[in-house]
């Protein structure tokens, strides 16, 4: 089956899911409309989205491609192709907070219009028996070029940005994010990342985010949390909560031993020690939580589902353009990261509308090849998606070429 024709290009169909008024409104709010002359804020957003969707390698790649498709580009609400220097200048001087606000407002607009968006995504590691909202909190480091980016100095010979993320594991969509230089510790960002959590919800994070003062504030707000215990944590066992069974080696109520940590968290904690399989090898891990009702196996499963945020980071870093950057300034990096997240949400929304059953990576590569084709995006997904049924066997070849063989 051939894909159906469409009056707009596939790139245009993707961009149409951004509300028409939104970019102009945000440009006025952040003063970008006064900085724009020939290269409008909308053209800037479209150019950066194209750089992610097409895996553009450089500023020249973006500028030349969009110039060669100027007619198709103008149909995307009058967007114009940038020059190399024009795109570089815009990303350097324009406020990246506009890109951040654009991402959150587009996501909010889609979720308000389609409340079920994202809920069809079934992450295999999510425990099915939990009906509460589960959020994974973690960060990913985005490597940069040290000798060009003094603002993001991370180590002696390295520079990096870091994206701290709160991911809703039910929808596999970002709930909160902070993008900044990688020199700040994860635990310092924990307060901001978890500020929006409500009573009864569950937060899961690794031990890099352990701050007992913060954990106690979550407990007082009625938020349940699960994390790994640090190796140097000093505690005393108050009582055994349940008997060891299977892979569960211990389930105890503990109290922090050191004065400073006890003052930060004056209540008892629950610690579950279990054998956990990691890459085919069993390792002993200890998990701590403020919930006394869950089964010890459920606590282990909750921490195991934290791997979902690693899957999310892998999706965006291996598909979108987050390894080669089009600029070295702080603003340019932030513009590219926030538009990458915007591109992720738009592709996920297209897959939701088209009831795509394949992987995110497969859909991305499928759309990337037809960005400037006037084809219906949904029919492209139907025609070129995952093959259905078993292949047909041919008893004898219709034509064969055998070198050196003559009849």
CA distance 64 to 73: 12
Helix pair 41-53, 97-113: axis angle to 10 deg: 80
The CB density around residue 86, as the number of other CB atoms within 10 Å, is 19
Dump pLDDT digits (tens) for 163-197.
899 999 888 999 999 888 777 778 888 899 999 99
The pLDDT mean for the chain works out to 86
CB 50 within 8 A of CB 66: yes
Which of 164, 163, 161, 165 has the alpha carbon at shortest distance from 181?
Answer: 161
Q: Which two tokens stand for residue 388?
A: 């259905």
Contacts (Cβ under 8 Å, ≥6 apart) of 146:
153, 154, 157, 158, 159
| Residue 387: predicted pLDDT | 44
First to last CA, the chain: 38
Distance, CA of 61 to chain centre: 25
88, pLDDT greater than 60:
yes
Q: Which two tokens stand for residue 141?
A: 């480091």
Range in 50-54, 127-131, 307-311, 373-377 with the lowest mean pLDDT: 127-131
What DSSP string runs through 4-18?
A: PB-SS-HHHHHHTTS
Q: Where do we find the tokens 């997240």?
A: 341
**What value does the CA radius of gyration of the chain take, rounded to a whole number of Å?**
25
Q: What is the mean pLDDT of residues 330-335?
A: 91
The structure's pTM equals 0.86
The CB density around residue 236, as the number of other CB atoms within 10 Å, is 9
Residue 391's pLDDT band, with cuts at 50, 70 and 90, is very low
Q: Where do we find the tokens 């490597």?
A: 143
The CB density around residue 72, as the number of other CB atoms within 10 Å, is 19
| Residue 1: predicted pLDDT | 64
For 142, the 3-state DSSP assignment is: strand
The CB density around residue 296, as the number of other CB atoms within 10 Å, is 25
| Residue 231: predicted pLDDT | 87
- For residues 267-288, one letter each, b for 16 or more C-beta atoms within 10 angstroms of the residue's C-beta and e for the rest, the string is ebbbbbbbeeeeeeeeeebbbb
| Residue 388: predicted pLDDT | 42
How large a percentage of the chain has pLDDT more than 90?
A: 55
Q: Is 173 exposed, middle or buried (0-12, 13-18, 19+ CB in 10 A)?
A: buried
290, pLDDT greater than 90:
yes
Q: Which two tokens stand for residue 25?
A: 């409104």
Residue scoring higher pLDDT (158 or 405): 158
CB 144 within 8 A of CB 162: no
Q: Which two tokens stand for residue 93?
A: 């001087």
Which of 308, 310, 311, 303 has the alpha carbon at shortest distance from 202?
Answer: 303
Strand ranges inside 73-215, DSSP E:
134-144, 153-155, 158-168, 173-181, 202-205
């Amino acid at each position: 089956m051939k894909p159906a024709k469409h009056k707009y290009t596939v790139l245009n169909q993707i961009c149409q899911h951004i509300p028409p008024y939104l970019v102009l409104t945000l440009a006025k709010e952040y003063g970008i409309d006064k900085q724009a002359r020939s290269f409008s804020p909308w053209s800037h957003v479209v150019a950066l989205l194209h750089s992610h969707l097409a895996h553009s390698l450089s500023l020249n790649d973006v500028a030349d491609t969009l110039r060669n498709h100027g007619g198709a580009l103008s149909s995307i609400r009058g967007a114009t192709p940038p020059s190399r220097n024009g795109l570089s200048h815009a990303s350097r001087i324009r406020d990246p907070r506009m890109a951040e606000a654009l991402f959150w407002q587009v996501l909010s607009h889609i979720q308000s219009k389609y409340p079920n968006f994202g809920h069809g995504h079934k992450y295999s590691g999510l425990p099915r028996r939990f009906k509460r909202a589960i959020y994974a909190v973690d960060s990913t480091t985005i490597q940069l070029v040290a000798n060009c980016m003094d603002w993001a100095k991370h180590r002696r010979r390295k520079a990096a940005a870091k994206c701290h993320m709160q991911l809703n594991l039910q929808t596999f969509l970002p709930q909160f994010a902070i993008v900044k230089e990688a020199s700040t510790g994860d635990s310092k960002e924990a307060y901001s990342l978890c500020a929006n959590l409500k009573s009864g919800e569950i937060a899961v994070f690794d031990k890099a985010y352990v701050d007992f003062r913060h954990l106690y504030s979550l407990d007082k707000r009625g938020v349940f949390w699960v994390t790994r215990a640090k190796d140097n944590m000093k505690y005393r066992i108050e009582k055994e909560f349940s008997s060891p069974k299977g892979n569960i080696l211990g389930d105890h109520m503990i109290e922090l031993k050191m004065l400073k940590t006890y003052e930060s968290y004056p209540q008892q904690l629950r610690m579950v020690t279990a054998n956990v399989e990691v890459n085919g090898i069993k390792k002993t891990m200890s998990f701590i939580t403020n919930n006394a009702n869950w089964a010890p196996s459920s606590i282990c499963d909750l921490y195991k589902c934290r791997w979902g945020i690693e899957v999310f980071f892998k999706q965006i870093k291996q598909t979108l353009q987050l390894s080669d950057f089009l600029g070295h300034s702080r603003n340019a990096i932030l513009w590219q990261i926030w538009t990458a997240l915007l591109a992720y949400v738009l592709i996920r929304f297209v897959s939701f509308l088209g009831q795509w059953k394949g992987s995110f990576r497969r859909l991305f590569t499928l759309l990337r090849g037809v960005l400037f084709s006037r084809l219906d995006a949904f029919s492209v997904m139907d025609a070129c998606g995952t093959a259905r049924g078993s292949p047909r066997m041919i008893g004898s070849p219709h034509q064969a070429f055998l070198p050196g063989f003559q009849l």
